[in-house]
Amino acid sequence: HQADKLMQPAGAGPMTLADQEPAVRIPRPGAPWIAVSGGKGGVGKTTISVNLALLLQRSGHRVLLVDLDPGLPNVDVQLRMPVQFSLEDVAQGHIAAEEALLEGPHGLQVLAGRSGSDWLSGGGRGAAALAIRAVEGLSGRFDIVIVDTGAGIGPAVLAAAARADVVLGIT
């Protein structure tokens, strides 16, 4: 039915965005992702990520908060959570993703980053792709995934933005 609307002959009436959207949407497995990003450090990406995740969790959603900042991840610092395993451990296959999850306030689930990760910051697109795949493996258990990215436009930031359903650019 939607494909028929897209193939309407000229002059058959204006096509609305509502007509087009179902035909062009590409379904993705798992929960929708929101990437919180920005070109500069210190603009509040992590603060917004943490608070958005907590608000959604408190509203009854099952939320996964992922720290995908390869330089200075600090979601765990803001939530005052000790970290034993990180996203990097999961992406490199050292442990199962479930083992790295931390339970935060109100049942929020957190996948922490590793501070100063040479592997993620220097591993290029391959390392970023492994990190994204690790998060995708978990996303089916959640209603929404919030990804806190690092500053700039490095491979991890670009991979998160490309995968996200929504990108919040913080300036």
Sheet holding 144-151: strands in order across? 102-103, 109-111, 63-68, 144-151, 33-38, 166-169
Token pair, residue 111, equals 């996948």
- What are the pLDDT digits (tens) for 131-156? 889 999 898 999 999 999 988 888 88
Which string of b and e fits 17-40 if b means at least 16 CB within 10 Å?
Answer: eeeeeeeeeeeeebbebbbbbbee
The distance between the two most distant Cα atoms of the chain, rounded to a whole number of Å, is 63
User: What are the residues whose beta carbons fall under 8 Å from the beta carbon of 10, sequence distance 6 or more?
Assistant: none
According to DSSP, residue 142 is labeled -
Asked whether 3 and 23 are in contact (CB, 8 A), the reply is yes
User: Token digits for 100?
Assistant: 């790295």
pLDDT at 18: 60
Place of tokens 């600090």: 74
Query: What tens digit of pLDDT does each residue of 39-84 get?
Result: 888 889 999 999 999 999 999 999 999 999 888 889 999 999 999 9
Answer yes or no: are the C-beta atoms of 156 and 131 closer than 8 Å.
yes
pTM for the model: 0.81
Tokens of 171: 């300036």
pLDDT at 23 over 70: no
Q: What mean pLDDT is predicted for residues 90-114?
A: 93
